[in-house]
Amino acid sequence: MSMFCFQCQETARNNGCTVRGVCGKDESTAKTQDLLVHVLKGISLHARAASAAGAQVPTDVGRFVAECLFSTITNVDFDSAHLSQLVGQALEVRAQLRSLYQGKGPTHDSATWTGAPEDYLAKAAAVGVLSTENEDQRSLRELLVYGLKGISAYADHAAVLGLEDPAIYEFLFEALASTTEDLSVDEMVALVLKAGEIGVTTMALLDRANTETYGNPELSEVQLGVGSRPGILVSGHDLKDLEELL
Say whether residue 50 binds ligand SF4 (CB under 6 A): no
Per-position x/- string for 55-94, each x denoting binding to ligand SF4 as judged by CB under 6 A, each - no binding:
-------------------x--------------------
Question: Interface mask (CB under 6 A) for ligand SF4, residues 19-48, using x and -?
Answer: --xxx-x-----------------------
Nearer to ligand SF4, 21 or 106 (CB): 21
Minimum CB distance to ligand SF4 smaller for 29 or for 210: 29
With CB atoms as reference, the residue minimizing the distance to ligand SF4 is: 21
Q: Residue 142 CB: number of other CB atoms within 10 A?
A: 16
120 binds ligand SF4, rule: CB under 6 A: no
Question: Nearer to ligand SF4 by C-beta: 76 or 81?
Answer: 76
Whichever of 7 and 202 has its CB closer to ligand SF4, that residue is: 7
Return the residues of window 4-23 that contact ligand SF4 according to CB under 6 A.
5-8, 10-11, 17, 21-23
Give the whole-angstrom CA distance, residue 59 versus residue 153.
Answer: 16
CB-nearer residue toward ligand SF4: 21 or 62: 21
Minimum distance from residue 12 beta carbon to ligand SF4 (Å): 6
The residue ranges that bind ligand SF4 (CB under 6 A) are 5-8, 10-11, 17, 21-23, 25, 74
